[in-house]
A and B are shown apart, each in its own frame.
Chain A
Amino acid sequence: MNSNNPEIAREVPGNTAVTDVSNRTIANFSQTFAPAGEEKLSKEPILEAVNLKKDFPLRSIKLFGPAQAVHAVEDTSLALYPGKATALVGESGSGKTTVARLLGRLHEPTGGEIRFHGEPVGNNHQSLRAYRRHVQYIFQDPFSSLNPAHGVRYHLARSLRLYGYAHNAHEEREQILALLERVNLTPADHFIDKFPHQLSGGQRQRIAIARVLAVRPSVILADEPVSMLDVSIRLDVLNLLLRLKEEDDLAFLFITHDIASARYFAEETLVMYAGQMVEGGPTEEVIQHPRHPYSQLLLSAAPDPDTMGHKKATNDAFDKRTGTKAQANMGDATPSGRGEPPSLINPPGGCRFHPRCPHAMPVCRQYRPERTNLGNGHWTHCFLYSKREEVSRASST
């Protein structure tokens, strides 16, 4: 099933005659990015963001004064691998959608680099078009991501025509029907003439997924794809995405604020706070043993009937000596530190979590901690886990 060669066309089931033509077209177009015929090592990231930074400038009313900006994303790096799903978790305003839009080239980064197959992506029309062929974006809101003036046929046909997968109406119709079957919208004939206002939320999101699949990408950036759907439909759509991931060996970036779906869907989880990455690693590891105080706070906020009694007791314990609430041990503590995320126009210096962090040290106010590897692919940006030399070096300069 072409699992190691993302640049060769996906087999659209039941339509080999059509895809033979399309295979040749795709091979021509993707020469920009893929070395021909080379086996992709699963260790090499297919899409990488290196030290991304994004500031949205604000038009300030004051005549004299520094230009202000919303510092949405700061020093963010991540890597996506074929066949692997990476979840990006965080609360609203943490910058996770901005990261996805930067990766999808809907915004231009103010700093840092995006690399596809190790090569930075250019800004001109040709390279953007070639990039979009491989990297596609699923939007959060199925009610507004489809144009109400056009039907299902138009939405899917545009993707097919733009990248040369269909050259006449007959090929177009066959491929559209195959795509609808693939996303479980059957009978496909019935759906091909529908308009978005005639479809339910789950069906619209499936159309959005089909539109993305029509391009035959290697990376899918899914921005909270199930957040606006009924809970009963969410599992269906997640299972659909999982199946597509298996069949096509796609790399997934799955943005969510729901830890449970991140746990269900993704092998790796990254946690963001106020535009900065704070922790990352294998999903089970991050969820069971969160190290960064923010991750602990985030995970404790998920209602969990099993541990409710236990958590209550720990929260009330009071340490008379230091005057703070006692923490059992830094690894599994129930944190305090409720509060609001900071304003991104004037974010706190150093680690942006320090105003809310129960373990804040003077160094946290001044310097952003480097990445500390905790073993097994688990890493965090926190001075609590940095080596002593790093902390003293940072605080002495």
Chain B
Amino acid sequence: MQVTNITNQKTASITFLGSKKDRVSSIFRAITSNPKIAFGVSVVTFFVLIAIAAPLLTPYDPNASIVKGSLPPSWAHIFGTTGLGQDIFAQIVYGARVTLMVAFVAAIGSTILQVVMGLSSAYYGGMVDEVLSLIINVFLVLPGLPLTIVLASLASASGANKNEFVIALVLLFTSWSYGARVLRAQTLSLKEREFVAAARATGESSLLIISSEILPNEVSLIASTFVGTFVYAVGAEVALEFLGLGDTSRPSWGVILYWAQNNAALIVGKWWQFVPAGICIALLCAGLTFINFGMDELSNPRLRVERPLRRHLISRKSKAVASR
């Protein structure tokens, strides 16, 4: 009755095993040693810090018309001004808050939904699995972008709450099913492992088995799915706002692009209206994707690239060894 484990047991990332102290120091080591993760984390942290420190970085109110018309970048306005005379730099730093918040809420909500649906359908099996899989599959085949546009325009047409969180909800409902399917597959394989049977034999309840036995072994998968959903959320949110389906009175990176489009900035040659925002969006998505690549390398040692040890480290190490 022995079930051979084809899944690589060691794909549980080394960052997640060990005592709390071990985990924290190993996460720190992982971030600093792998250049991909280092780049990605620094980019994301940079944008988060900008968003938090927005009032300190600019004296202007992003919504206030300061000058008349659209001015190119100058010392007073680092990224220039919009057609209405609003400072673009202020719009970007305040807009970072909105963009990051919406994407974060969408990603967190989506991940929670994925975990709940994927793990319960796989663990309980039988009828529960059939019903939940049906729901997952239905959401999976629904065309994402058209649905998102329809839902967002319904929300804005109803005029009820031109709240950015409407977009977050819409993104949540269209992005959760892929990750749920992946988690379901992983859980199906994990639940046949003997430590799950051992936990049942000890008398653990199903809920505790799912949360304490199966979930900790899937943390690396959930983390990378979260980052992937975050990237998707940023891109989709900017797309929706560009189409004018978000709250166009509140500045965020997508809204900046919307107004740039409205003012025919590209045609007229007023590049400062869309280039900074575009670069920020691209940088943020690139940083997140690099984090994902780096996490892949961490969990799967076969993807790791041999990096030559730096000279000064070698000489320092050999000195230390020699002095013992």
Q: Of B18, B201, B216, which is within 8 A of A147 by CB?
A: B216
Q: Is B105 an interface residue (CB 8 A)?
A: no
Q: Pull 13 A–B residue pairs with CB atoms less than 8 Å apart, ordered by A.
A: A129-B203, A132-B202, A144-B9, A148-B9, A148-B17, A149-B16, A150-B212, A158-B199, A162-B203, A162-B204, A193-B19, A195-B18, A208-B198
Give chain A's interface residues, CB within 8 Å of chain B.
Answer: 97-98, 101, 104-106, 128-129, 132-133, 136-137, 139-141, 144-151, 158-159, 162-163, 193, 195, 197, 208, 211, 215
Q: How far is the CA of A215 from the CA of B202 in the complex (A)?
A: 8
Docked-complex contact B12 and A148, CB < 8 angstroms: yes
Q: Is B297 an interface residue (CB 8 A)?
A: no
Of B66-74, B164-172, B189-197, B276-284, the one touching chain A: B189-197
Closest 10 CB pairs of A and B: A149-B216, A97-B1, A132-B203, A147-B195, A144-B194, A137-B201, A145-B194, A145-B198, A149-B217, A139-B194
Nearest CB on B from A159, distance (A): 6
Docked-complex contact B5 and A150, CB < 8 angstroms: no
Chain A residues with Cβ below 8 Å from B247 are: none
Q: How far is the CA of A128 from the CA of B9 in the complex (A)?
A: 31
Docked-complex contact A148 and B217, CB < 8 angstroms: yes
Q: Of B9, B19, B193, B198, which is within 8 A of A151 by CB?
A: B19
Chain B residues with Cβ below 8 Å from A215 are: 202-203
Chain B residues with Cβ below 8 Å from A150 are: 212-213, 216
Chain B residues with Cβ below 8 Å from A136 are: 201-202
Docked-complex contact A132 and B17, CB < 8 angstroms: no
Known: A106-B197, A162-B203, A211-B202. 6 other contacts (CB 8 A): A129-B203, A137-B201, A144-B194, A158-B204, A162-B202, A208-B198
Docked-complex contact B204 and A106, CB < 8 angstroms: no
Chain B residues with Cβ below 8 Å from A211 are: 198, 202
Chain B residues with Cβ below 8 Å from A105 are: 201
Would you give the 0/1 interface string for B1-42, flagging 1 where the beta carbon is closer than 8 Å to chain A?
A: 110010001001000111100000000000000000000000
Q: Name, among B193, B199, B203, B212, the residue most crowded by chain A CB atoms within 10 Å (CB to CB).
A: B203
Q: Of B1, B2, B12, which is within 8 A of A149 by CB?
A: B12
Nearest CB on B from A352, distance (A): 18
Q: Name, among A98, A193, A197, the residue most crowded by chain B CB atoms within 10 Å (CB to CB).
A: A197
Q: Is B317 an interface residue (CB 8 A)?
A: no
Q: How far is the CA of A147 from the CA of B201 in the complex (A)?
A: 14
Q: How far is the CA of A215 from the CA of B16 in the complex (A)?
A: 29
Docked-complex contact A158 and B17, CB < 8 angstroms: no
Docked-complex contact B203 and A133, CB < 8 angstroms: yes
Chain A residue with the shortest CB-CB distance to B9: A148
* CB under 8 Å from chain A, chain B span 169-207: 193-195, 197-204
Chain B residues with Cβ below 8 Å from A140 are: 2
Nearest CB on B from A163, distance (A): 7
Nearest CB on A from B20, distance (A): 11
* CB under 8 Å from chain A, chain B span 188-241: 193-195, 197-204, 212-213, 216-217
Docked-complex contact A139 and B198, CB < 8 angstroms: yes
Q: How far is the CA of A147 from the CA of B213 in the complex (A)?
A: 7
Docked-complex contact A146 and B18, CB < 8 angstroms: no
Q: Of A132, A144, A149, which is within 8 A of B201 by CB?
A: A132
Chain A residue with the shortest CB-CB distance to B1: A97
Chain A residues with Cβ below 8 Å from B198 are: 137, 139, 145-146, 208, 211
Chain B residue with the shortest CB-CB distance to A159: B202
Chain A residues with Cβ below 8 Å from B202 are: 132, 136, 158-159, 162, 211, 215
Chain B residue with the shortest CB-CB distance to A95: B1
Docked-complex contact B200 and A145, CB < 8 angstroms: no
Docked-complex contact B203 and A145, CB < 8 angstroms: no
Chain A residues with Cβ below 8 Å from B195 are: 144-148
* CB under 8 Å from chain A, chain B span 49-71: none
Nearest CB on B from A139, distance (A): 5
Chain A residues with Cβ below 8 Å from B197 are: 106, 139, 145
Nearest CB on B from A204, distance (A): 11
Q: How far is the CA of A146 from the CA of B16 in the complex (A)?
A: 16
Chain A residues with Cβ below 8 Å from B201 are: 104-106, 132, 136-137, 139
Chain B residue with the shortest CB-CB distance to A153: B19
Q: How far is the CA of A150 from the CA of B196 in the complex (A)?
A: 12
Docked-complex contact A144 and B193, CB < 8 angstroms: yes
Q: How far is the CA of A149 from the CA of B5 in the complex (A)?
A: 16
Chain B residue with the shortest CB-CB distance to A132: B203
Q: How far is the CA of A163 from the CA of B198 in the complex (A)?
A: 16
Q: Name, among B9, B201, B213, the residue most crowded by chain A CB atoms within 10 Å (CB to CB).
A: B201
- Asked if A101 meets B16 with Cβ closer than 8 Å, knowing A106-B200, A147-B213, A162-B204, the reply is no
Q: How far is the CA of A163 from the CA of B194 in the complex (A)?
A: 21
Chain A residue with the shortest CB-CB distance to B196: A147
Q: How far is the CA of A140 from the CA of B1 in the complex (A)?
A: 10
Q: How far is the CA of A144 from the CA of B8 in the complex (A)?
A: 12
Chain A residues with Cβ below 8 Å from B217 are: 147-149
Chain A residue with the shortest CB-CB distance to B202: A159
Q: How far is the CA of A128 from the CA of B202 in the complex (A)?
A: 11
Nearest CB on A from B189, distance (A): 12
* CB under 8 Å from chain A, chain B span 133-151: none
Chain B residues with Cβ below 8 Å from A163 are: 203
Q: How far is the CA of A140 from the CA of B194 in the complex (A)?
A: 9
Q: How far is the CA of A193 from the CA of B204 in the complex (A)?
A: 22
Chain B residues with Cβ below 8 Å from A149 are: 12, 16-17, 213, 216-217
Docked-complex contact B5 and A144, CB < 8 angstroms: yes
Chain B residue with the shortest CB-CB distance to A163: B203
Q: How far is the CA of A363 from the CA of B73 in the complex (A)?
A: 101
Chain A residues with Cβ below 8 Å from B5 are: 144
